[in-house]
Amino acid sequence: MLTRTLGRYLSWPLDRLAALLAPTGIPPNVITWSALILNLWAGILFAAGRFAAGGGMMILAGLCDLLDGPVARRQNRVSKFGGFLDSILDRYADLILFLGLVVYYANVNRFLYVVLAGAAMAGAVMVSYAKARAESLVPAADVGFWDRPERLALMILGALVNRMPIVLWILAIGPNLTVIHRILQTWKQTEGSLRPAGGTEDSAARATQAGSLAKVGHEAPEVRPILTRSAGRGG
């Protein structure tokens, strides 16, 4: 996945940048909020049709996204709330970027691309939600390709080379296919966990039959004396 690739190649330069920023005392949450503000600026540029400038702003926002974690670790400020805030602001950033594209294509009367931007927006949100919701039920649901780094990398590339229509077609389809993949993966894991270990109807029938025989065996000592007394009375 792109996340692991980026982590492998960018870990050293990011660590160096974090080493420079950490002594300044800048709170990691400020860096997280800075990423949102830069993405807001990128969304405004998209709405104005300035795709290349918006792509450049997305690069700066992505840098902030990658830096807040290393800075927090160097300052010993890692917290559960920090991770929660980062996830929430990432979702808002995704919505802002696609909203900028919706505004632009609505202004130039390209209804098809408005629809595609809306579908891409839904996919971007649902990919993350499907994973979070699934992992409350099963150990892991990290399947599919279109996580956030892959989506942002494609958007940046499309913006810089002015090929956003192609990007919208891909992002309207790919992430939603990933959502379906995660739904199926979760269904397999949850449905499989509900099946009994030896789980066939024949096993259940044998267990019921065995229970019935055991019940008759317990009642037999009471039934025999009654039959014997009936025979003695000539019944």
Nearest to 143 by CA among 109, 177, 172: 177
Alpha-carbon distance 8 to 114, whole Å? 36
Predicted TM-score of the model (pTM): 0.77
Alpha-carbon distance 102 to 78, whole Å? 36
* Sign, CA torsion 51/121/82/2: negative
Alpha-carbon distance 36 to 93, whole Å? 6
Q: Is residue 235 located within the same domain as residue 157?
A: no
Q: Is residue 159 located within the same domain as residue 68?
A: yes
Q: Is residue 117 located within the same domain as residue 206?
A: no
Count the domains in the chain. 2
* pLDDT score at 235: 42
Q: Is residue 25 located within the same domain as residue 123?
A: yes
Q: Is residue 142 located within the same domain as residue 169?
A: yes
* Residue found by looking up tokens 């997305």 in the block: 58
Q: Where are the alpha helices (DSSP H) in the chain?
A: 2-21, 28-47, 51-74, 80-107, 111-134, 148-160, 164-194, 201-232
Q: Is residue 184 located within the same domain as residue 216?
A: no
Q: Is residue 120 located within the same domain as residue 212?
A: no
* pLDDT score at 228: 41
Residue type, 90: D
Q: Is residue 32 located within the same domain as residue 146?
A: yes
Q: Is residue 120 located within the same domain as residue 219?
A: no
- Domain of 216 in residue numbering reads as 202-235
Q: Is residue 172 located within the same domain as residue 211?
A: no
Using CB atoms within 10 Å of the CB of residue 49, give its burial: 0 to 12 exposed, 13 to 18 middle, 19+ buried.
middle
CB 148 within 8 A of CB 128: yes
pLDDT along the chain (235 residues), means of 10: 63 87 92 96 97 97 92 92 92 96 97 97 93 87 86 96 96 95 91 57 49 45 42 41
* pLDDT score at 136: 86
Q: Is residue 68 located within the same domain as residue 24?
A: yes
Q: Is residue 138 located within the same domain as residue 228?
A: no
The CATH number of whichever domain residue 166 belongs to comes to 1.20.120.1760
Alpha-carbon distance 72 to 90, whole Å? 17
DSSP symbol at 111: H
